[in-house]
Chains A and B, each alone.
Chain A
Amino acid sequence: MAFESLSERFQSVFKKMRKEDRLTEKNMEEALREIKVALLESDVNFKVVKAFLSDVKEKALGSEVTRTVSPSEQLIKICHDEITSLLGGDDSELTLPSKGRLTTYMMVGLQGTGKTTSAAKLAYFFQKKGFKVLLTSLDVYRPAAVDQLRDLAKSIGAGFHETDVHDNPRKVAAEAKKEAAAEGYDALILDTAGRLQIDEALMNEIADIAKEERPDEALLLIDASAGQDAVNVAKAFNDSVRLTGVIVSKLDGDAKGGSALSIKYLTGLPIKLSGTGEKVGDLEAFHPERMAERILGMGDIVSLVEKAQEQIDEKEAEKAAKKMMSGEATLEDMLKQMKMVQRLGSLGSIASLIPGMPKLSDADKERGEKEMKTFEAVINSMTPYERRHPDVLRFSQKNRIAKGSGKTNADINRVLKRFEMYKKMMSEMKRYQKGGKFPPGGLGGLGGLGGRGNGFPF
């Protein structure tokens, strides 16, 4: 990572804030400066940053600090809520093709933003849904641009309308549309040449094509690494072609994509898709909330706390906590806690909420869920005594449990090993714990613990 994550910066700022009992203009100053730096380093537009900071300040000063929440936790929550409402919002879906009616898509943007690659990815995406797609390149300027799209179309088995580079792009577009209609295609994707938004002649060219072909979706490509000027680019393209949305490309790097999010805030254009790799399958629906989290870099720790408060029975939790701290935890307690956590959501979604946790692949998530079931089956097949004193288990008992649970001896050993780790973790927790509260500074410790459990996020 190029930049320290905001959560790391916060940790140091909040260490100093710990002793304060409410948020004031003065004690927030440093924290707000850190937030500002983090947002700007993520290329969030400066106008958006300013709006954000003044909103946060206002909310924070007016907020009631409750006994159970420290001012730093409070500020994190306010920031999180604000950034989600500012940059987030609902997911916007792309208009899909429909059988029997030709749907037209047009890709526009600056040079090198990934229009051609994305056009092929989009075609592949539609084909997987069973639609017949025709691709055509209106880029008669860049050498081999047509070859590039032709190669890509061939590799995914999509239709390709040939382009003569001596032709006018308007003519090519019209001919492609004719071919698409005549040959019964469901979707036509027009790839256009990259252009500067200040190049009048070329901007008029796409304006004309858009007017004539009336695309159902006119999509602007924005590079995830784009800087402060991206908003002006979006405005200019929107003025000449009525855009229907944005595709953020190259999100597989470490760029935070703050400029793309700012476009949504400043122009209202929804981000519909994101490019996440070089293969044709690497096109995904866009979730603004996840991007907001990527920028803040502290995961959705806030809602984890909220959810936990709602769903975990306070008394039960207190009892469990006491036991945990006393070092007398049993397999039953471990199972109980696992279930509590399970109620908060699937393992995968919880893991993604915890900063510092490595991102889980779908395969990892599935494995985690499966493991949880195994654990439950194994523990339920033990006698109550065995659950409290797992160290008594010998080979014969293990055989019995294996039979009863339909699992193997190896599974049982895994449960026991994990229990040892759990106990060790609990005693480490104890060191952090003061009066039953999470360690200050944004629960950073949790991430580390989660990482060790490998599928066990608590």
Chain B
Amino acid sequence: MGLINFLKSKFGKKKPEENYVKGLAKSRAAFSDRLALLAKKHAKLTPEYFEELETILIESDVGVSLTLRLIDELLEKSKENPNLSSQEANDELIDMMFVSYVEKGESIVNELSFKEGVPTVLLMEGVNGVGKTTSIAKLAYRYKKQGKKILLAAGDTFRAGAVEQLSIWASRLEVDIVKGKPNADPASVAFDGAKAAREGHYDLLIVDTAGRQQTKANLMNELGKIRRVIARELPESPIEAFLVIDATTGQNGVSQAKAFAEASPLTGIVITKMDGTSKGGIILSIRDEIGAPVRFIGLGEKMEDLVEFDLDEYLHALLVGDDNG
């Protein structure tokens, strides 16, 4: 049974989450329609079929090495089974994408890990302009709704307006915030945050960091320092570090993930702006090359639009659409 059928049987009973289908509408329109059209156009697996398939995958930012590998595998399969139709090949392809994602790591719990009696710390990292601060607001909203006591630390002391931006969110969400002076050492803000989180018996401390290009060694080292300061202050706490990546990012996303993972261990990735027309194929490339799992994806501007990443639902919404009969 192909994955599509598997998904169909699965979601035949349970409707996929509403905002997945809606949020990914634009992405899906291009991707799944193009795949369906491809199968219609080329009933047999002709060289043209493979060429167009390659175009579709590349233009979805799936990444060239993964794309070429998927196509090579598919070519092999078509040699083994010369009667493979293009519709079946499409299903095979999605199977392969699914398998290649899953086999890169153990199954993942998306929700943050919590431990009785100590605050969990979540570090938010990323290059400039990916949506770190907005994602922090959305995560704070999510965990506040789950009844957690939340503290934010405004660790971006560099960008103009960054502290104000987080402060506005804190007051809108009615959560507490620790602020440093402009241009203060971010590690000192993290220290203040960690201390306040312990003393105030918070459940979750979310630390904002300034956007940084992954090639700037001194700024990347700063992330390690922030982490060390927190680990020293809260030795018992689970520390999560999320790398935030913009869905419109191309192959540099892989470089970003590699560099940030090297600078300090990542426990997850947040993909933002998935409600645009970008297909977020970078999700697959990053998993393929780094193994880091996507934990949350941003599907819109509303607070509840940051949702848990679910591979089934993602592939389903992206590839199959909501016309599953």
Q: Does B165 contact A (CB under 8 A)?
A: yes
| Contacting residue for B129 out of A3, A111, A151, A229, CB 8 A | A111
- From known contacts A151-B160, A229-B248, infer whether A46 and B168 are also in contact, taking CB-CB under 8 Å: no
B276–A112 touching, CB < 8 Å: no
Tell which of A19-27, A36-44, A303-311, A363-371 binds the partner: A36-44
- From known contacts A46-B58, A250-B213, infer whether A227 and B250 are also in contact, taking CB-CB under 8 Å: yes
CA distance A372 to B68 in the complex (A): 50
* Minimum CB–CB distance for A210 against chain B, Å: 21
Contact with A along B250-277 (1 / 0, CB 8 A): 1111111011000000000000010111
> Which residues 208-232 of A sit at the B interface, judged by CB distance below 8 A?
223-230, 232
CA distance A402 to B130 in the complex (A): 59
Q: Does A2 contact B (CB under 8 A)?
A: yes
A40–B58 touching, CB < 8 Å: yes
Q: Which of A41, A116, A198, A230 has the most CB of B within 10 A?
A: A41
Residues of A within 8 A of B26 (CB): 198
Residues of A within 8 A of B158 (CB): 278
Q: Does B17 contact A (CB under 8 A)?
A: no
B127–A253 touching, CB < 8 Å: yes
- From known contacts A223-B248, A225-B250, A253-B214, infer whether A232 and B128 are also in contact, taking CB-CB under 8 Å: no
Interface footprint category on A: 35 or more
Contact with B along A248-259 (1 / 0, CB 8 A): 011011111011
* Minimum CB–CB distance for A34 against chain B, Å: 11
- From known contacts A111-B131, A250-B128, infer whether A144 and B248 are also in contact, taking CB-CB under 8 Å: no
Q: Does A104 contact B (CB under 8 A)?
A: no
Residues of B within 8 A of A103 (CB): none
* Minimum CB–CB distance for B156 against chain A, Å: 11
A112–B130 touching, CB < 8 Å: yes
* Minimum CB–CB distance for A329 against chain B, Å: 40
Residues of B within 8 A of A230 (CB): 248, 250
> Which residues 181-229 of A sit at the B interface, judged by CB distance below 8 A?
196-198, 223-229
Residues of A within 8 A of B9 (CB): none
A151–B251 touching, CB < 8 Å: no
Q: Which of B128, B129, B281 has the most CB of A within 10 A?
A: B129
B252–A43 touching, CB < 8 Å: yes
CA distance A224 to B255 in the complex (A): 13
CA distance A152 to B161 in the complex (A): 9
Q: Which of A2, A3, A43, A223 has the most CB of B within 10 A?
A: A2
A37–B248 touching, CB < 8 Å: no
Residues of B within 8 A of A155 (CB): 160
| Contacting residue for A112 out of B128, B160, B279, B281, CB 8 A | B128
| Contacting residue for A144 out of B130, B165, B250, CB 8 A | B165
Closest to B67 in A: A40
Contact with A along B72-100 (1 / 0, CB 8 A): 00000000000000000000000000000
B213–A253 touching, CB < 8 Å: yes
Residues of A within 8 A of B275 (CB): 196
Q: Does B249 contact A (CB under 8 A)?
A: yes
Q: Does B237 contact A (CB under 8 A)?
A: no
B277–A198 touching, CB < 8 Å: yes
Contact with B along A110-134 (1 / 0, CB 8 A): 1111101000000000000000000
Contact with A along B104-117 (1 / 0, CB 8 A): 00000000000000
> Which residues 187-217 of B sit at the A interface, judged by CB distance below 8 A?
213-216
A40–B249 touching, CB < 8 Å: no
Residues of B within 8 A of A43 (CB): 250-252
Q: Does B324 contact A (CB under 8 A)?
A: no
Q: Which of A37, A40, A143 has the most CB of B within 10 A?
A: A143
CA distance A131 to B152 in the complex (A): 41
Closest to B214 in A: A253
A110–B64 touching, CB < 8 Å: no
CA distance A143 to B138 in the complex (A): 14
- From known contacts A144-B165, A148-B165, A229-B248, infer whether A250 and B60 are also in contact, taking CB-CB under 8 Å: no
B215–A226 touching, CB < 8 Å: no
B277–A226 touching, CB < 8 Å: no
B164–A227 touching, CB < 8 Å: no
Q: Does B159 contact A (CB under 8 A)?
A: yes
B253–A225 touching, CB < 8 Å: yes
A110–B248 touching, CB < 8 Å: yes
CA distance A149 to B159 in the complex (A): 11
Q: Does B140 contact A (CB under 8 A)?
A: no
- From known contacts A143-B168, A250-B128, infer whether A229 and B161 are also in contact, taking CB-CB under 8 Å: no
* Minimum CB–CB distance for B216 against chain A, Å: 8
Q: Does A344 contact B (CB under 8 A)?
A: no
* Minimum CB–CB distance for B271 against chain A, Å: 12
Residues of A within 8 A of B279 (CB): 229
A147–B161 touching, CB < 8 Å: yes
| Contacting residue for A223 out of B129, B131, B216, CB 8 A | B129
> Which residues 19-43 of B sit at the A interface, judged by CB distance below 8 A?
26
Residues of B within 8 A of A142 (CB): 165
**30 contacting pairs across A/B (C-beta < 8 A):** A41-B63, A43-B252, A110-B273, A112-B273, A114-B129, A143-B165, A144-B168, A145-B161, A147-B160, A147-B161, A147-B165, A148-B164, A149-B161, A151-B160, A196-B275, A198-B276, A223-B246, A225-B252, A225-B253, A226-B248, A226-B249, A227-B251, A227-B282, A228-B250, A229-B61, A229-B277, A229-B278, A252-B213, A255-B250, A278-B158
Please list the 8 inter-chain residue pairs (A to B) with the smallest Cβ-Cβ separation, ordered nearest first: A148-B161, A227-B250, A112-B129, A2-B255, A43-B250, A144-B165, A253-B213, A225-B252
Task: Give me 20 other A-B pairs in contact (C-beta within 8 A), A41-B64, A145-B161 excluded.
Answer: A2-B255, A2-B258, A2-B259, A111-B273, A112-B130, A144-B168, A148-B160, A148-B164, A149-B161, A223-B129, A227-B253, A227-B281, A227-B282, A228-B58, A228-B59, A249-B129, A252-B216, A255-B252, A256-B252, A278-B128
Report which B residues bind A (CB closer than 8 A): 26, 55, 58-61, 63-65, 68, 127-131, 158-162, 164-165, 167-169, 172, 213-216, 246, 248-256, 258-259, 273, 275-279, 281-282
Report which A residues bind B (CB closer than 8 A): 2-3, 36-37, 40-43, 46, 110-114, 116, 142-145, 147-149, 151-152, 155, 196-198, 223-230, 232-233, 249-250, 252-256, 258-259, 278
